[in-house]
Structure 1
Amino acid sequence: MSAAWLYPLILIAGALQAWGPPMNGALREAVTNPWLASTISFLPVVAFMGLLFLCMPRPFPTADGVAGMPWWAPLGGIVGSFAVICGLIFVNKVGAGAFAGLTITANILMSLLIDHFGMFGMEQHSLNLWRVLGGALMVAGVALVALF
């Protein structure tokens, strides 16, 4: 079965991600404290995920699965929270376009390294001229967005 039907959903998810930093920036402006704003921002996510788990509690993890989990696996949320906190604090200073461009470009460049080295259990996809060129074009594009 082709995964092509996933691409529209992924594009929608990416478009919705652009809403997060400006919404969080408005939240920070309203409550002033960026740490309180971060907490408020995460509470609906925790509530929503908790509700989904209550509605669909299976499958449960196995003891072998948990025991075999890499130490860094549960830290993805903390890593992601750094981007949320940066959005809360900085999006109003640099603008939504520059903020999104910088974070997306940094994401692409780091993803190229993750792919190249097969980090975090990912299948290895070696760097080649076209992938490097794509990363360079991202850098050039975000420079244009940020500067103008």
Structure 2
Amino acid sequence: MNTVAAFSFIFAAGMLQAVGAVMNGALNKAVVNPWLATAISFLLVLFLAVALFVCMPKPLPSTGDMSQMPWWAPLGGITGAVAVFAGLLLIQKLGAGPVNGITITANILASLLIDHFGLLHMEQHSLNPYRVAGAVLMIVGVTLIAKF
């Protein structure tokens, strides 16, 4: 995949994430129980993932691949579930802009720390004034969106 296609795909995924948060908020409002709403949302994701796996079952990991996997690697879904739960619980109250803005800004700040320190086996990308300025602009932007 070339760079333009990759960035386009990421952009579309980000747009869908914003729409999905609103959909999850409506689901939570309809079923009343946030745990049930989360379960419904993730059951549909599980169904889609299993269906795609059945259609495209290769490649499969080797025993060596599995033994080299960090213990924390499978926990990414749980971390995503926290974000989904926070969104579906609060988006109706706070609005899509503030919830998604804070989520994305927090994601950027954590990503900068992960990059800077090379956490979780990521290649290190040190902080520099431009990255810090970008983070500050994100914080200012989401503050303005939440306030007005």
Name 2:78's counterpart in structure 1. Answer: 78
Inter-partner Cα distance in structure 1 for 2:110 and 2:61:
30
Inter-partner Cα distance in structure 2 for 1:2 and 1:51:
27
Inter-partner Cα distance in structure 1 for 2:119 and 2:69:
15
Name 1:13's counterpart in structure 2. Answer: 13
Q: Secondary structure at the match of 1:19?
A: helix
Q: Secondary structure at the match of 2:37?
A: helix
Runs of 4+ with deviation above 6 angstroms: none
Relative to its length, the structure with more helix (as a share) is 2
Inter-partner Cα distance in structure 1 for 2:9 and 2:2:
14
Letter paired with 2:8: P
Name 2:27's counterpart in structure 1. Answer: 27
- Tell me, which stretches of 5 or more residues in structure 1 are unaligned? none
Inter-partner Cα distance in structure 1 for 2:80 and 2:142:
21
Inter-partner Cα distance in structure 2 for 1:9 and 1:58:
23
- 1:46 aligned to 2:46? yes
Inter-partner Cα distance in structure 2 for 1:2 and 1:78:
30
Give identity over the alignment, percent: 57
- The offset of 1:143, in angstroms, is 0.3
TM-score (norm 1): 0.97
Letter paired with 1:14: G
Name 1:136's counterpart in structure 2. Answer: 136
- The offset of 1:4, in angstroms, is 2.8
* Deviation per residue, 1:71-112 (Å, 9 max, x gap): 000000000000000011111111000001100000001000
- The offset of 1:122, in angstroms, is 1.0
20-29 vs 76-85, which deviates more?
A: 20-29
- 1:62 aligned to 2:58? no
